[in-house]
Structure formats: C-alpha cells, structure tokens
Amino acid sequence: MTSAVTLHKDAIAVLKADHREVKSLFEEYQQLVARRASDQRRQQLAERICCMLKVHTMIEEELIYPQAHRALGKDDDDLVDEAEVEHASAKDLIVQILDSAPLDAHYDAKVKVLGEYIDHHVREEENELFPKLRKTDMDLDTLGEAMLLRKEQLMRREGLAVDEPVE
C-alpha cells in the first residue's frame, strides 16, 4: 500500500478525508451498539476513534489554526476561536471515554455524544471555515504536505496504522 505521505493533498482535502473516516467509524460504533456487540469490540473501536481524533485535533491546533488566525481578519477569526473551544469539549469527552470501559455507566452515550460534537464541528469547518480559508493566501498545498507528515508521526505514536492511503 502507498504511504499517506506520498499522496498529494491540500490541507483542506486532508482534513475532509479525516472527517469522512471518523464519521464512518462513529456509524460503525452505533451499529455495534444496535447489534449488542461485545464490550471488547466496542471498546476497541471507541479507542480507535479517540486516538484518531487526538491526532486530528493536534494537527489542526499545531498547523491549521495558527495560520488561520493570521490569514483571517478579525471579522472571521471567531470561527477559529469557536473551533478551538469545540476541540476542548471533545478532548474532555475523549479523556472520559479512554478512562472508562463499556461496563461503566453512560459509556455508549459518551461515544454517541462525542460523535454529535464532532459532527457539529465538521459541519462548521466544512461549511464556514474552509471556504474562507480557500480565499486567503495560505499555501494549502505545502500545509497539506506538512499535515500528512505530522499525521504519520502522531499516528505511529498512538499505535495506529499509517500504511493506508488518505483519500
């Protein structure tokens, strides 16, 4: 398989691919809940979702948001501020999920609510922030390459597979 780093994607395409992937994993999790799948299977998938979100938020916070703050004027800077606050809420819930187990009260509910937070966050990014970033002078191609490299580093650190292509 091709390494994610060898594929050329601009920064927004990289983020959108991550969004689609994690949405699919949340849908898979809800299917597991509906089928009353084993605690072990649900926990494995929840942990994968949480680790992928940790990587994604770090990439946005390290690489995208600082440049977005600079590129957007004060009129649109609030979109980035809101995204950072949404990340903080999601990270709190991620910690709660990773520190618990499916036998704990509200485990499945926490995963579901995290999915809802992320869905809201993704809609705002894709419908409001990304179109505004496309209109700036940000070098989205160079940024995309840096993001893919950083993503590979972070995924290795989290123990996630890095040999699958980003689409």
Task: Quote the domain boundaries for residue 53.
Answer: 4-158
Mean pLDDT (the chain, rounded): 89
In a domain, 167, yes or no: no
Give residue 18's pLDDT.
Answer: 93
The pTM of the full predicted model, rounded to 2 decimals, is 0.87
> Per-residue pLDDT tens for 4-54?
444 568 999 999 999 999 999 999 999 999 999 999 999 999 999 999 999
In a domain, 164, yes or no: no
* CA distances, 164 to each of 1, 40, 149 (Å): 6, 24, 14
What the block records as the tokens of 35 is 């089928």
Give residue 74's pLDDT.
Answer: 75
In this structure, what CATH number is given to the domain that contains residue 53?
1.20.120.520
In a domain, 165, yes or no: no
Give residue 162's pLDDT.
Answer: 64
pLDDT band at 73 (very low <50, low <70, confident <90, very high): confident
Number of domains composing the chain: 1
Contacts of 25 (CB under 8 A, 6+ apart): 45, 48, 49, 52
